[in-house]
Amino acid sequence: MEQAVLTTESQLIQQAIMILLEKLGTTDTNRFLSLKSSQRLDSVLRHQAWQKTLDKDDFFDEVF
């Protein structure tokens, strides 16, 4: 049985970006990488909106 060798996180990221550049080109690779940050911002905004409606005392009573 062959033993697998794991790459470091930075090597994995570098290889993935190189593959994206090769297959998609510079523009589409940049667009793809930008999608992640947009979705992250949306989840942060959703969380902030949820926090604004939250009553701290009710929340703590429910959790604890």
pLDDT (0 to 100) of residue 19: 97
pLDDT (0 to 100) of residue 53: 92
pLDDT (0 to 100) of residue 18: 97
Where do the H-state alpha helices sit in the chain?
Answer: 9-53, 56-63
Q: Which tokens is 46 given?
A: 């959703």
pTM of the shown model: 0.50
Amino acid identity at 58: D
Cα gap 33→40, rounded to integer Å: 12
